[in-house]
């Protein structure tokens, strides 16, 4: 019993010490790995990706991606400084690239390395649509969601190993591992991922608004995303992302709040949509 209590106490201490503060929410989050460990690897992977793929340079679209990204990053720094997080971005290395690929996607690696695929531009439809996507991706980077997901995966693996050690019964190990795999994913990892997506949706609106882009367009973007998907999506509880309808409803509800936040930074009107 003393042994078990010691393990629990040590585990609690590790959890307490392995936390970082999320600047977007002010809450403590898992941080079993540090940015100093993650960023160099992420930067190297990003460089390799660019080498292995067709990066678009010197076009109006590629320049627009960079322009929007820089505006969103400036908005992020303004917001962070105003909320007591000066210097938070010192280790970030923002980079925004357009890649020639029909995939309807954009993504951000830890530390601010962002890729847009050309396949998402027709759905973005205009520069403000691009800003909605960019705000979401930059929010992922600011919140260190990559760090949190990696930490959660370590935690999930650790609990699985602890269960296997505790059981020491080959007859029940298979049942335990199967049940734990399903329960920890559906009840833990997937909701965790969906919460990150919603958090990035919400704060992304604030970033695009501070950068001078109308946050109302974000919901319109997701209406186009929904139409493009043709309704082919898994049930929300089995997905890493909220459903299209959930996202549209949330974005519509958050838009006024993001405009009010932008007003604190002197932004009272927004750029034209800027169709391309």
**Contact by Cβ (8 Å): 183, 163:** no
Q: Report how many domains make up the chain.
A: 1
pLDDT of residue 141: 85
- Whether 179 is in a domain gets the answer yes
- Whether 276 is in a domain gets the answer no
What single-letter DSSP state applies at residue 210? H
pLDDT tens per residue, range 103-121: 999 998 889 999 999 999 9
Phi, psi of 96, deg, nearest 5: -130, 120
What single-letter DSSP state applies at residue 188? I
pLDDT of residue 200: 87
Range with the poorest average pLDDT among 19-28, 83-92, 174-183: 174-183
Q: How far apart are CA 158 and CA 163, in angstroms?
A: 9
- Whether 66 is in a domain gets the answer yes
pLDDT tens per residue, range 221-256: 999 989 998 766 544 333 455 688 988 999 999 999
pLDDT tens per residue, range 127-150: 999 999 999 999 988 887 555 566
pLDDT of residue 77: 96
Average pLDDT on 69-86 reads 95
- Whether 268 is in a domain gets the answer no
Asked about 275 being catalytic, the answer comes back as no
Question: Which residue in 77, 95, 137, 217 is the catalytic one?
Answer: 137
pLDDT of residue 12: 41
More confident residue, 12 or 256: 256
Average pLDDT on 74-102 reads 95
Three-state SS string across 203-227, please? Answer: HHHHHHHHCCCCCHHHHHHHHHHHH
pLDDT of residue 7: 36
- Whether 274 is in a domain gets the answer no
Task: Give whichever of 74-83, 146-155, 159-168 has the largest mean pLDDT.
Answer: 74-83
- Read off the pLDDT band of 32 (50, 70, 90): low
- Whether 272 is in a domain gets the answer no
pTM over 0.95: no
pLDDT of residue 195: 66
Average pLDDT on 63-76 reads 97
Average pLDDT on 88-113 reads 93
What single-letter DSSP state applies at residue 25? T
- Read off the pLDDT band of 192 (50, 70, 90): very low
Which residue has 């505006």 as its token pair? 71
- Whether 151 is in a domain gets the answer yes
pLDDT of residue 191: 43
State how far the alpha carbon of 109 is from the alpha carbons of 27, 42, 141, 144, in Å. Answer: 22, 6, 7, 10
The CATH number that applies at residue 83 is 3.40.390
pLDDT of 196 strictly over 80: no
- Read off the pLDDT band of 171 (50, 70, 90): low
- Whether 271 is in a domain gets the answer no
Structural domain including 161 reads 2-263
Range with the poorest average pLDDT among 27-31, 51-55, 71-75, 268-272: 27-31
More confident residue, 29 or 79: 79
**Contact by Cβ (8 Å): 119, 102:** yes
């Amino acid at each position: 019993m003393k042994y078990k209590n010691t393990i629990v106490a040590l585990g609690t201490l590790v959890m307490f010490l392995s936390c970082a503060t999320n600047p977007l929410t002010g809450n403590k989050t898992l941080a079993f790995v540090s940015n100093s460990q993650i960023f160099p690897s992420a930067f190297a992977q990003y460089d390799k990706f660019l080498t292995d793929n067709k990066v678009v340079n010197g076009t109006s679209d590629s320049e627009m991606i960079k322009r929007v990204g820089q505006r969103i990053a400036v908005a992020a720094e303004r917001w962070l400084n105003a909320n007591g997080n000066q210097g938070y971005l010192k280790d970030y290395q923002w980079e925004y690239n357009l890649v020639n690929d029909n995939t309807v996607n954009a993504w951000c690696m830890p530390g601010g390395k962002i890729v847009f695929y050309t396949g998402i531009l027709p759905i973005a439809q205009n520069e403000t649509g691009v800003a909605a996507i960019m705000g979401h991706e930059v929010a992922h980077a600011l919140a260190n969601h990559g760090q949190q997901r990696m930490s959660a995966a370590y935690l999930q693996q650790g609990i699985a190993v602890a269960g296997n050690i505790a059981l020491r019964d080959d007859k029940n190990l298979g049942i335990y591992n199967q049940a734990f795999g399903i329960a920890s994913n559906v009840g833990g990892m997937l909701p965790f991922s969906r919460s990150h997506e919603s958090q990035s949706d919400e704060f992304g609106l604030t970033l695009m608004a501070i950068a001078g882009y109308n946050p109302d367009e974000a919901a319109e973007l997701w209406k186009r995303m929904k139409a493009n998907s043709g309704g082919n999506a898994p049930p929300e509880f089995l997905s890493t992302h909220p459903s299209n309808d959930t996202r549209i409803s949330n974005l519509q509800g958050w838009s006024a709040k993001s405009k009010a936040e932008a007003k604190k930074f002197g932004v009272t009107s927004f750029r034209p949509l800027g169709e391309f």
